[in-house]
A and B are shown apart, each in its own frame.
Chain A
Amino acid sequence: MAAENKNARVIVVGGGLAGLAACVRLAEQGVSVDCFSIVPVKRSHSVCAQGGINATNEIARQQGFSEWMHMDETLFGGDFLADQPPVYEMTHWAPRIIDLLDRMGVPFNRTPEGQRDLRLFGGSLFKRTHFSGATTGQQLMYALDEQVRRYEAEGKVAKYESWEFLWPITRGEGAERRCVGIVAQDLRTMQIRAFPAEAVIMATGGCGLIFGKSTNSVMCTGGAAARCYQAGAWYANGEMIQVHPTAIPGADKCRLMSESARGEGGRVWVPAKKGDTRDPRQIPENERYYLLEERYPKYGNLVPRDIASREIFSVCVDDHMGVDGRNQVYLDLSFKDRDELDRKLGGILEIYEKFAGEDPHDVPMKIFPAVHYTMGGLWTTFTPQERPADPRQDLNCGRDTVTGMKFGAANTMMTNITGLYAFGECNFAYHGATRLGANALLSCIFDGLFSGQGVVNYVRTEAEPVENVHQSLYDEAVQQEHFKTQRLIETAEAGHNDPATNPYQIALEMGDEMTAACTVVKTGPRMEQAMTRLRELQDRYQNVRLADGGMWTNQNLSFTRALGDMLILAEAILQGSINREESRGSHYRPDFPDRDDQRFHKTTIAKFNAKTGRPDFDYRDVVTGLVKLRPRDYGKTSSEPKKSKEPATV
């Protein structure tokens, strides 16, 4: 395009780490930003991240590790399903992201000398996880929130908090299709409005609520991503859902017990004798079965999440060895020094004490796996860039050149709809088939800062100025949403609680079914059964009825609308799981227990078919070229409890 567009405006949907990082990058580059968030941005789900953020530091390099190794562990952890150049770029940018966050004032834990301290995390053989107590996500997000507030005070960012994204506005068809704005609704006044912009960044996180009780926050419905999917954006690797091994089961959600609990030495065990109901403190060392340490001597309690989840699940569900006969195992920190625990894990131990009513300094915690992270998401692309290997960062990589992503390329993390981007958890780009602990914060911030520059360049030089877009396009989009809203509002009947058509009941059943059929262990027949149930629920949803027909702060409407989108996205997730007849990362199929690179070293792409209302599937080869595929077993030994046990050293 000819002249640079100085008045370009970008919409960021979502105010978590990825969204805020994007706002900061865009605002710094002088692009006007409208940030939309369903909650005040400071309350975004990113605050729940506890453990830390991965980045190689100088000590690791001197010990023979490097960014390359971080990349290798990420790819290996994700069972090689991730495209390799984005992972290369992310892991190599990690150190400078940490430095930047440090400059922004994040209170990273310190060594006695005043350096940033590191902890060990799952799936790693070297310490590369920076942390800020046990609330790292909160601390990182606040630092970015503060920077955005500064830009907001300067008038460079406008926040639309308590606004819900309803639909992307596009013009043109096929490859020419461009995103030129969004429709959003104020959740207080219920006003529906169109907002034009040269580009739209979706940074709306995961879809844990599809599984009912997960570790996610109440707004993590995946509704926004599902709307983009229905509008024609491709949804990739939907079947890759991470189940976190250690969560505290609760009535309203499952609260996360960070991997850092294991990183700081926490040990997972069950009584070696089935039905042993003694107080855990009374059970001697040699009558405890440390399942992960015995099955995976090399990584011990720090095997990746999918493996830990599966082992805990199998000990409870298959071997019936769960504590008190229930689906729970011990996560033990009670043998550790109290002060050290407080300093490094205070925040999360407090959560356990508050919500479980027992002090984890004294007694082992009772935990069970819960749905945690959405590796899949909106499909995005990038521009590869070949460059010479760096002897420091790519130590012992055995190659002369490497392939990363081109900084500032306009298509970086752009969906198949031009001008519509997806950053952070809501894209599929970095974690493959399972995510390593402490890589989520990294990928979110990396997208905002790195991929954000691509958006800057896109709106400046490639996007068509929205002044050229006819107003009628926006009016029609608003009209469309008014129509959908009205259709739901008209069903309202105060006091409505008929289970058949009650949205909360349908959501509950969807969550139960999806959790039972499509999480830790997936089998073809069970998933087919779940698909039948899901179709039933979709049918019931056609007759869904609200209990609130008002047009003021109608949360009933917002929830029911999201439920419709969740049911559609759930189908893509479930069908993707059925189709992938192999086991890879978090996707474990006992009926297909091995990884099948021949058939499935491919990205699943679900395309919403507006005619059938169902997904069509397409498979694309994973972009490799940096690391060769190898079996991912983390050195597993026998899965039987040994007869005599020695206390393992931590």
Chain B
Amino acid sequence: MTTATDTRTRTIKIKIKRCDGPGKPAYWQTFSVPVKRGEGANVISCLQYIAANPITDGGVATTPVAWKSGCLEEVCGACTMVINGKVRQSCSCLMDSACPNEGDTLTLEPMRKFPVIRDLFVDRTRLFESLKRVKAWVPIDNLWEQGAGPKETPDEQQTRYKLSECMSCGCCMDACPQFHQIADSAKWQTAFIGAAPISQVRYFNLHKTGATLKADRLSEMASQGGVSDCGNAQNCVKHCPKSIPLTESIAAVGRATTIHAIKQFFTGK
């Protein structure tokens, strides 16, 4: 661990893939950022520095870089970026480990599977639309007082809790070789849905009231772009910042869909 007095400043380089807007060409800019050791500097604090000092390494006066962030503690899912080639949350990318030495370079790119709005800011509408696609909600009757919800065991709660931590950051989709960038929203409905919404299918089907929509969700999973489009590359689970067991969810939903389909085959519903 760094000691309390060790606050030596070093200068690191942040190389950023920029883009002024949809349809505009991408270009790279590099910025020098002074960083103090042991003070928890991260990608966000570096981007904040660049926003206040928008001058590139080559002395070019430019505009502040656009990016999205929110909670800065890995619960909101906003600040997903491709850092040194791999997708992750940028707030938890600490400079003391990512760029420990003078002159080290960190590369920032926007997510690959979502359309760029500007610089590192991408449009993840599709992700939220996919939650509608799988009816990711518990269909309660109304808001009036009707007593508690269904009981569940601590084990059931623990399973559901883990799945409920999904913050729709999109890391699992960005790292997936089966998931592609699609600008045309009309095609989202039949394109591979990605790991997170599949895991949400499992989450809601595990709830007693949520399960009333189970058949709808599994039918969606059996349709074009559903769970069987998964190619089992399993990058999703490696890149989930919340360590959600996505591949287990995919297998569980695969099983449920198989049973659902067999039932459909024999009973017609």
Contacts and interface: CB of A to CB of B under 8 A. Distances in A.
A325 to B, nearest CB: 7
A42 B77 contact: yes
B198 interface: no
A107 interface: yes
Contacts of A150: 135, 137, 139
A252 B45 contact: yes
Interface string B179-204: 00000000000000000000000001
A335 interface: no
A548 B1 contact: no
B76 interface: yes
A324 B4 contact: yes
A251 B95 CA distance: 11
B232 interface: no
Nearest to A39: B70
Interface stretch (A141-149, A289-297, A570-578): A141-149
A102 B148 contact: yes
Nearest to A98: B148
Interface string B206-224: 0101100000000000000
Centre residue among A44, A102, A493 by max chain B CB count within 10 A: A102
Contacts of B45: 250-252
Contact of B118 (A24, A39, A497, A552): A552
Interface stretch (A169-177, A355-363, A477-485): A355-363
Interface in A71-105: 96, 98-100, 102-105
Contact of B70 (A105, A139, A219): A219
Contacts of A105: 138, 149, 160, 204, 207, 209-210
A133 B156 CA distance: 13
Nearest to B65: A555
B82 interface: no
Contact of A504 (B48, B136, B165, B168): B48
A305 interface: no
B137 A146 contact: yes
Contact of A354 (B67, B74, B204): B74
Contacts, number: 225
Interface in A474-511: 493-497, 502, 504-505, 508
Interface stretch (A6-14, A108-116, A368-376): A108-116
Contacts of B147: 99
Given A132-B161, A252-B45, A103 B77 contact: no
A40 B124 contact: yes
B75 interface: yes
A147 B139 CA distance: 8
A259 to B, nearest CB: 16
A265 interface: no
A607 interface: no
Given A114-B153, A357-B1, A138 B137 contact: no
Nearest to A356: B40
Contacts of A109: 154, 157, 161
A135 interface: yes
A133 B161 contact: yes
Given A105-B149, A105-B210, A253 B72 contact: yes
A552 B117 CA distance: 9
B251 to A, nearest CB: 21
B9 to A, nearest CB: 12
B120 to A, nearest CB: 11
Interface stretch (B55-63, B102-110, B255-263): B55-63
B94 interface: yes
Contacts of A125: none
Nearest to B77: A43
B21 A553 contact: yes
B11 interface: no
B36 to A, nearest CB: 8
B235 interface: no
Most A C-beta atoms less than 10 A away, residue of B64, B66, B146: B64
A48 interface: yes
A142 B166 CA distance: 9
B244 to A, nearest CB: 12
A456 B157 CA distance: 35
A189 B57 CA distance: 29
B140 A351 contact: no
B20 interface: yes
Nearest to A323: B4
Interface in A414-437: none
B151 A42 contact: no
Contacts of B142: 28
B101 interface: no
Given A103-B149, A107-B161, A47 B143 contact: no
Interface in B108-146: 117-118, 121, 123-124, 128, 131-132, 135-140, 142-143, 145-146
A104 B148 CA distance: 10
A29 to B, nearest CB: 9
B175 to A, nearest CB: 19
Nearest to A547: B54
Given A105-B138, A138-B75, 5 more contacts: A39-B68, A107-B161, A114-B151, A217-B71, A250-B39
Interface of A: 24-25, 28, 39-40, 42-45, 47-48, 96, 98-100, 102-105, 107-112, 114-116, 132-133, 135, 138-139, 142-143, 146-147, 149-150, 152-153, 188, 217-219, 249-253, 255-256, 324-326, 343, 347, 351, 354-358, 449, 493-497, 502, 504-505, 508, 547-548, 550, 552-553, 555-556, 559
10 contacts: A107-B157, A142-B164, A146-B138, A251-B36, A251-B40, A355-B73, A357-B97, A497-B55, A553-B118, A556-B63
What are the nearest 10 A-B pairs in CB distance? A495-B61, A504-B52, A102-B149, A146-B137, A553-B118, A114-B151, A105-B138, A548-B63, A103-B149, A251-B45
